[in-house]
Amino acid sequence: MLEKDSVLVEGAIKEYYFNHFDLINIPANLVQREFGYQKINGGMIRHIAIKDSKELHLLLMKETPSDVYCSNAYYSFPNLPMSEKDWQGADLIFDIDAKDLALPCRNDHSISICGACRGIAAGKQTTCTSCGSAKSETVSVTCKICISESKKQVKKLMRILADDLGIKNEQVQVYFSGNEGFHIRVTNKDYEVLGSQERADLVDYVMFNGAVPETFGIKRQNIKSALPEIGESGWRGRVAASLFGAKSKAPKISRQIILDGYAAFQARLDGMRQTIGARVDPKVTMDIHRIFRLEGSVNSKSGLSKIQCKNLDDFDPFLDACLLGEEQVDIVANYPVVIKLKNKKYGPYANERISVPKYAAVYMICKGLASAV
Amino acid sequence: MLQPGIMDLAKYPFLTEAGEYLRDKGFNLEQLGHPDWTPLVEKAYGRIVVASSGQVYGSDMEMLENPDMEILSFIVAVILLKASGIPTLARRFSLAEARRAEKYLQQDLWSNKDRKNLELPLKIIQELFGVQVIVENDEFVIKVADYLQRAIHFHEKEWKLVNRRVKNGLVYLTSHETVRLIRTELGQYINSKIQSITLPPIPDTFKARVQDLVSLASRFSDVVVVSTDYPPCVKHAMEVLERGENLPHSGRFLLATYLLARGQTTDQIAPLFKNAPDYNERVTKYQLEHISGSSGRGTKYQCPSCDKLRSENLCFAIPDCDGIINPIQFGKKRGRTNA
């Protein structure tokens, strides 16, 4: 990021931590957590222990980090190297990101920025339309469809957590990630002790990975096959609902499935992962030493904040998480799509000098679509 | 507090109460050294020999006339093992005894559905392993987290949580599955008991059998020495086998294909599997020849990729593995960078 851009962004972030420190969620067992942060154009600094909220506030004000992270794990010695930290447990975390959902709208709000000539083009391009360079970076901007689809995944996950895994709603906190998805944190004593391999199997469960036909009554030998019924609990019930739709259709569809055989049913199950499984990023859940974006902090990919969604249905990240300053700043913007923040549309712009609220300026700069003047 | 009866102790002689029972009955080691007790020492020795060959020592409880002998022979076996100081034998014995107990646990869970005597097997599982099992109709129910911590050690897909009935944070299992889940821990528990006892001076009648155990163990010692050139996944597979523990099929396949690719012959590789709990010379030879392509359709099987091993939980990558996609490349790549 250019010097003048980083001055603007850092200033906005500093102001945010000064005015909105109350939005930072001080995690339980604060002293046992590992903190880390990044500064604009800087590397990751981690293995930091924080003793109280004052010290955290001081760090945010003094360093003005572009991104702040806190471990989902708790350690006896969070500031020591990883092998000496003495892992005690970790919250169960899930990451749902719109970019992993392969939605058809994706190309409409993606912009390619050439790494060589900084040329901008709409959609995901493999080569630069101006200079032909193959080095390009794709950024994605505000999209309501992406958010709405991500919310559906969150709801699917929450139902599995509650109905199957016995995790109460009050033990689950949902956060907007600050860019294009949601982070879910579970605080439940039974699950916090699980290691990485156990979490890998748990994430396969919520994603509906690795299911075999036998679980649903279909055997290789095709004898005594009996499919689950609508209304059964867990995956058997969900598979039945997905296969039959309505109870009345069950006998006819059942006969066909049994006739199609084992391999065909395995293929059906594999296909169902996309529709009935919760599409989370498995790497995040499996990682028991991860430092996860701090709740309430600013995400430098967008300038939006990672904030809690108390009411998921009504939550609009491009309004509710847009918390940087409102005063007008001048920038030069260059992008071919419309960005909508706080119910106001910005763009498209062709290298135009514009005056916009600070939150919008930071959003565009963070996405690489504008520059301070 | 468990209050097992004598028949229970014969089934589960590793329980602390078994030692207490014998003490209460006035048995001591000196007395057991008397030639009158030779059949007991032989029984104990036999129990170890059976275990070392990968079999499960069978006590037919229905026919059992002398439960004291069952308990005593276990204790004497533990003393013989401790005196011989051979970890491989102790591990094999522990695993075999765990499998023996597993059979009884399952029987007890199954036959006591009327709940008359269900308390003991459930208490063993709860008190020794901290797993609370609830009985619901015909099923045994445990917490998801307790299940996951044990089931991840199994590689068959049926053990994946997604293939289980899960509801409200609980997993529903059969009696067989419930006890299968704790087999490894039971083996570790028995092994830890062997390790933790302080060996008293042993009677002379025991000493000959201790010597026999040392020679018995020598047949397990001809395993290939693990070279530092092997990738960690292969080393792990070798170590599991060396310990006499069960290596899943995918791990055995990795080991065989890797060593074949490194130019070893099936005759050189076969002894590695000698320690497997289910070792069968004929079957091992057949499998190796099949994999090598010298029998069957002549297809020579390739070493599985790192990706495949990762998904089978057989990957134990170290920094030296960076940049390789198949264990075969391990070391070769490193050699080039150093050159």
Region A13-36 average pLDDT: 95
- Cβ-Cβ contacts under 8 Å for A88 (sequence gap 6 or more): A32, A73, A74, A75, A76
Chain B residues in contact with A165 (beta carbon < 8 A) = 144, 166, 169
A211 and B162 within 8 Å at the Cβ level: the answer is yes
| Contact with chain A for residue B170, Cβ under 8 A | yes
Question: B280: pLDDT confidence band, cut at 50, 70 and 90?
Answer: confident
Q: Is the pLDDT score of A179 beyond 90?
A: yes
Among A5, A67, A91, A95, which one carries the catalytic annotation?
A95
Q: Please indicate whether residue A190 is annotated as part of the active site.
A: no
Query: What pLDDT does A119 receive?
Result: 86
Q: Which of A233, A6, A361, A348 is nearest to B170 (CA)?
A: A233
Query: What pLDDT does B220 receive?
Result: 67
Among A5, A97, A287, A320, which one carries the catalytic annotation?
A97
| Contact with chain B for residue A212, Cβ under 8 A | yes
Euclidean distance between CA atoms A366 and A305, whole angstroms = 13
Q: Please indicate whether residue A281 is annotated as part of the active site.
A: yes
Task: Among A81-85, A210-214, B5-9, name the most confident range.
Answer: A210-214
CATH 3.90.920.10 residue window(s) in chain A: 18-100+143-205+281-372
Query: What pLDDT does A300 receive?
Result: 96
Question: Which residue of chain A has the CA closest to B311?
Answer: A200
Query: What pLDDT does B126 receive?
Result: 86
Asked casually if ipTM beats, i.e. exceeds, 0.85, the reply is: yes
| Contact with chain B for residue A49, Cβ under 8 A | no
A198 and B145 within 8 Å at the Cβ level: the answer is yes
A115, burial (CB in 10 Å: exposed 0-12, middle 13-18, buried 19+): middle
Q: Which residue has the higher pLDDT, A290 or B185?
A: A290
Q: Is the pLDDT score of A36 beyond 80?
A: yes
Q: Is the pLDDT score of A203 beyond 90?
A: yes
Region B202-210 average pLDDT: 88
Find out whether A88 and A32 touch, Cβ atoms under 8 Å: yes
Per-residue buried b or exposed e for B211-240, using 16+ beta carbons within 10 Å of the residue's own CB: eebeebbeebeebeeeeeebbbbbbbbbeb
Q: Please indicate whether residue A95 is annotated as part of the active site.
A: yes
| Pick among A82, A91, A165, A193 to test the B interface (most B CBs inside 10 A) | A165
- Lowest-confidence pick of A253-257, B109-113, B334-338: B334-338
Question: B64: pLDDT confidence band, cut at 50, 70 and 90?
Answer: low
Please give, rounded to a whole number of angstroms, the shortest distance from the CA of A198 to a CA of chain B.
5
Q: Which residue has the higher pLDDT, B6 or B111?
A: B6
DSSP state of A111: E
Minimal Cβ distance to A164: which of B145, B160, B166:
B166
| Contact with chain A for residue B144, Cβ under 8 A | yes
Query: What pLDDT does B334 receive?
Result: 41
Region B121-134 average pLDDT: 86
Q: Is the pLDDT score of B316 beyond 60?
A: yes
Torsion angle of the four alpha carbons B78, B80, B84, B88, in this order, in degrees rounded to the nearest 10: -40
Query: What pLDDT does B226 receive?
Result: 44
What pLDDT, in 10s, does the model give residues A281-306?
A: 999 999 999 999 999 999 999 999 99
Task: Among A119-133, A265-279, B123-137, B170-184, name the most confident range.
Answer: A265-279
Model-level pTM?
0.79
CATH code for the part of the protein at A18-100+143-205+281-372: 3.90.920.10
Please give, rounded to a whole number of angstroms, the shortest distance from the CA of B147 to a CA of chain A.
9
Question: Which residue of chain B has the CA closest to A217?
Answer: B163
Among A5, A67, A91, A281, which one carries the catalytic annotation?
A281
What pLDDT, in 10s, does the model give residues B304-315?
A: 988 788 877 788
Euclidean distance between CA atoms A13 and B43, whole angstroms = 77
Q: Which of A184, A180, A179 is nearest to A297 (CA)?
A: A179
Chain A residues in contact with B145 (beta carbon < 8 A) = 190-191, 193-194, 198
Query: What pLDDT does B225 receive?
Result: 44
A165 and B163 within 8 Å at the Cβ level: the answer is no
Query: What pLDDT does B262 receive?
Result: 87
Backbone angles phi, psi at A347, to 5 degrees: 100, 180
- Please confirm whether the linkage preceding B319 is cis (ω < 30° from 0): no
